[in-house]
Amino acid sequence: MSDTPAIELRKINKRFGSVHANKDIDLVVGKGSIHGIIGENGAGKSTLMSILYGFYQADDGDILVNGNKVIIPDSKAAIGLGIGMVHQHFMLVDNFSVLENVVLGAEDSQMLSGGLARARTELKRLEEEYELRVDPDALIQDLPVGLQQRVEILKALYRSAEVLILDEPTGVLTPAEADHLFKILEVLKNEGKTVLLITHKLREIMAATDTVSVMRRGEMVATRETKNTSMEELAELMVGRSVLLRVDKKPAEAKAPVMEVENLTVTDSRGVQVVKDVSFNVRAGEIVGIAGVSGNGQSELLETLSGIRRATKGTLKINGETIDLGTSTLDAADMRAKNMGHVPEDRHRMGLINSFAEYENSILGYHRDPAYSKGWLMDLAAIRKNAVAEIEKYDIRPPSPMLKTANFSGGNQQKIVLAREIERDPEVLLVGQPTRGVDIGAIEFIHRRIVELRDEGKGILLVSVELDEIRALSDRVLVMFDGRIVGERGANAEEGELGLLMAGVEDNNKNAAEGGAR
Amino acid sequence: MSAGQLPRWVDYGLIPFLNLVAAFLVSGLVVILIGENPLDAVKVLIWGSVGYAEGFGFTLFYATNFIFTGLAVAVAFHAGLFNIGGEGQAYIGGLGVAFACLALDQYVPWYVILPFAIVGSAVAGAAWAFIPAWLQAKRGSHVVITTIMFNYISFSLMVYLLANVLKKPGSMQPETRTFEEAGRLPFLNDLFPSFGFGYAPVNLSLFVALAACVLVWLLIWRTKLGYEIRSFGANATAAVYAGISPVRTIIITMLISGGLAGMMAINEIMGSQHRLLIDFVTGYGFVGIAVALMGRAHPVGIILASILFGMLYQGGAELSFEMPNITRDMIIVIQGLVILFAGALEHMFRPTIVRLFTPSRALAAKEA
């Protein structure tokens, strides 16, 4: 490490309307280090990095790169200064090859062939230097996400980035892929590159970084040497008070099954089997967690059970009634009528209508309930009264039922969905990604509410890609891989073991593992 | 920053006003190029459309047509559907009105016929929207394409019917016989002679149009069906999640939309022409798109936008009469400019205005 920092930010301020997204941010990133930035959603991490990468302009404050004061008007300027960024959502063209994607935007001339040949040589060199092996002629759509991310890193290196910003890089990766990514980052560091790792996962900070800076509500609240801090301290700094990382709950008192799924097979619109012959049950008074890397059939499973998607075959027993899912024409409204609640995985796409007022969303899916209507008309007074009650009970802020839903924060939006589904007193609750994009305070609340529902004797099926969440909440864990349930574990399943199952490693140790879980 | 954070008066008042001003400035340039004084032209246009009772009567007559077609487009908008077929649906709606009048005008008075005419026009218009709706719902054939196609089919179908089937025997004109007195809606001039509407054809269907506005408002914002329509239009995935059937919503919405467009024929056929004839729609269906856009798909906005376009039609006619240099075609150019600025370029000023209003609001919040 040399003395001049790779990046130095001085008193950076950024306001969006009345929101002060970055307040007097100071940050020093040493050359050749891995520097983590951690904070809740909405803490201002992404804004800060967007300023560094030229997407936004700071209202005031200075940016120094290698000790020189610079102005970064756009991302082209950032790349020129040797700053590269790997976005959370990859910026790749799916039907282009790796090589074409790497060259895209840096073609150097009107004709492609010269640039492509040069890129091929350069890729080979980068591959050897940083151990980043990818077939340059493979199409992006054929690559697993871990490799796609590698292409993003190569793109940045090809543009001779010295500082690499990774924004929530592990969201789509298996634990094994994430570990591999951290090894790559280590190699990059040893080659003298500087890495800025943006994340809200404490474990990654502890595993991968040298230094960590914590942001809270637009302010930089602390910077620590990673080896001199702990998860507990960082969590407290993030939230501003001490946090329970574990969910307090009694052992489950599971009773008779409330939902039984047998031989469920689902085929998607492309004709690909996405759920393959899945059977399981959920008993009253227990939380069954489905672990798995995103895209292994969990979403389709939830959508099928909730009546949104059609199955090819399979049966569903709910409250003693048997439904042949292969032929059923029941839609989401019919499933709700069978006392099944559904908190969908993606609240923006599915769970809420962002342009509606809060009270209008508080009855989405239940708008035909006689309690909320007078004949053909909606009973607005009853709807608003109910919305106000839910706002109070779930501490939804701001407490204004007339406010447009888009103007609530992620955590509060999720509480709107959760309140709507739980307060209808379902026997079975399907929950997908209940805390995605939700701040820690709200996570605690949401987890507690789900456990309470369990203790009231309801059956809960929980799908989450956050392994920590699955382990904290579930009484039984099912692991899905490639559309199948590849293993079942008890409440105390080891993280490493689940990780292997999620990565598709054969479960040849089933009996022993179940013995261990008991 | 989303558009929703603008104050309502800006979204619903200032932005349409600026669009209108821009349209008139460009129109003014056109008038100058022709060699006329734009201020004089504006004077003639306004005087001709609202300056005296008879002119205002014409304005209201045209506005009645626009209210129906504007509502038709607006209802479909709320479900995220773009019904370009108002023209054809209104044309076919004429069949429903004509059948009711031709069948009953020798037996019962107009107030008995009117409900049949309303139902007839709505059913005919809805029927014409049904096939595009069904194709969209079941086959995913885009309703924009199919409704435009159905406009052309309706033009040919009506020519065939009027020339071969419905034509009055012995007449050279491709039109039905003129309705008896009982098949004609009273003119407002006959009901309220003191207003002095003179020969303006504004008639009782104006009130039918206003009633339709109230009913559409109720439907969209107060009924469960309206909630489903808006849910589907705002977020189709969430609607499916909520158990709202896309097929049912698309078909019902398009039927309502087509029915409203069809009802335009009451004003033209039963209210003014008193016979079914060729080409009585003449663009009202298309202008309804601009009316709905400018009126923000809200009945109140649609009434205001309808009156504006009624003024352009009536004032434009006066203008081409008073200033022979400004031909009928130039009037259509000016109308086209208003549609362009109010509809297609709706978002031209919006980003600037959002920027202007956001910081001042932030400051206000700080001071508070």
Instruction: Render pLDDT for A53-86 as a digit per residue (tens, 0 to 9).
Output: 998 888 999 999 999 999 998 888 999 999 999 9
Strand pairing partners for A462?
A289, A431
- Is the pLDDT reported for residue A207 higher than 80? yes
Read off the DSSP letter of residue B19.
Answer: H
Q: Given an 8 Å threshold on Cβ–Cβ distance, is B243 in contact with A336? A: yes
Run of H or E residues at A196: strand A194-199
Mean per-residue pLDDT, A336-363 = 94
Which residues of chain B have a CB within 8 Å of the CB of A407? 4-5
Residue B327 has φ and ψ, to the nearest 5°, of: -80, 170
Contact B69, B310 (CB under 8 A): no
Across A109-123, A347-361, B144-158, B255-269, least confident range? A109-123
Chain A residues with CB under 8 Å of B233 CB are none
Determine, for residues A407 and B240 on separate chains, whether the beta-carbon distance falls below 8 Å. no
Rounded average pLDDT over A221-238 = 87
Give the pLDDT band (50/70/90) at residue A245.
low
What are the pLDDT digits (tens) for A137-186? 999 988 888 888 889 999 988 988 999 999 888 877 777 888 888 999 99
What does the pLDDT look like over A367-424, one tens digit per residue?
999 999 999 999 999 999 999 999 999 999 889 999 999 888 888 999 999 999 999 9
Q: What is the CATH number of domain B64-308?
A: 1.10.3470
What distance in Å separates the CA atoms of residue A425 and residue A428, rounded to the nearest whole number?
9
Chain B closest-CA separation from residue A426 CA (Å): 15
Residue to substitute from A304, A328, A376, A421, interface B, most B β-carbons within 10 A: A376
Query: Which residues of chain B have a CB within 8 Å of the CB of A18?
Result: 361-362, 365-366
At A43, list the tokens: 């803490």
The answer on pLDDT for A355 being more than 90 is: yes
Residue A132 CA to its chain's centroid (Å):
25
Of A112-126, A243-257, B9-23, B37-51, give the lowest mean pLDDT range.
Answer: A243-257
B223 contacts A308? CB cut-off 8 A: no
Of A331, A335, A352, the CB nearest to B238: A352
* Preferred mutation among B78, B221, B224, B248 to probe A, highest tally of A CBs within 10 A: B224
The pLDDT of residue B1 is 35
Q: Would you say A224 and A190 are in contact if contact means Cβ atoms under 8 Å apart?
A: no
SS3 B187: strand
Q: Nearest-CA distance from B365 to chain A in Å? A: 7
pLDDT tens for each residue of A457-512: 999 999 998 888 898 999 999 999 889 999 999 988 887 788 788 877 765 554 44
Local confidence pLDDT in tens for the 368 residues of chain B: 343 467 778 877 888 888 888 888 998 998 898 888 999 999 999 999 999 999 999 999 999 999 999 999 999 999 999 999 999 999 999 999 999 999 999 999 999 999 999 999 999 999 999 999 999 999 999 999 999 999 999 999 999 999 999 998 888 889 999 999 999 999 999 999 999 999 999 999 999 999 999 999 999 999 999 999 999 999 999 999 999 999 999 999 999 999 999 999 999 999 999 999 999 998 999 999 989 988 889 999 999 999 999 999 999 999 888 988 888 888 888 888 887 887 777 777 887 887 777 654 444 444 33
Domain A7-239 shares a fold with domain A257-348+425-517: yes
In A217-326, the DSSP E strands lie at 219-225, 257-267, 273-283, 286-291, 313-318, 321-324
Contact B224/A16, CB-based, under 8 Å? no
At B13, which amino acid appears? G
Check CB contact of A15 with chain B, cutoff 8 Å.
yes
Q: Please compute, for residue B235, the number of CA atoms within 13 A of its CA located in the half-sphere on the CB side.
A: 20
Separation in Å, CA of B135 to nearest CA in chain A: 19
Contact A349 B238 (CB under 8 A): yes
- How do A373-374 and A377-378 pair as beta strands? antiparallel
**Identity of the residue in B222, B227, B365 whose CB atom sits nearest the CB atom of A18:** B365
How do the domains of chain A map onto residue ranges? 7-239, 257-348+425-517
CATH among 3.30.450.80, 3.30.1360.120, 3.40.50.300, 1.10.10.10 for A257-348+425-517? 3.40.50.300
List CB contacts (< 8 A) between B223 and chain A.
Answer: 376-378
Q: Tell me the CATH number for domain A7-239.
A: 3.40.50.300
pLDDT at A343: 96
Q: Collapse the DSSP code of A177 into the 3-class scheme (helix H, G, I; strand E, B; otherwise coil) and give the result.
A: helix
* B120: CB partners within 8 A, 6+ apart: B95, B96, B97, B99, B100
What confidence score (pLDDT) does residue A228 get? 92
Indicate the pTM of the whole model: 0.80
Q: Please state the ipTM of this predicted complex.
A: 0.85
pLDDT of residue B293: 87
Judged by CB atoms closer than 8 Å, whether chains meet at A355 and B4 is answered as yes
CA–chain centroid gap for B262, Å, is: 11
Confidence at residue B367, expressed as pLDDT on a 0 to 100 scale: 39
A352–chain B Cβ distance below 8 A for any pair: yes
Residue at token pair 């008139």: B24
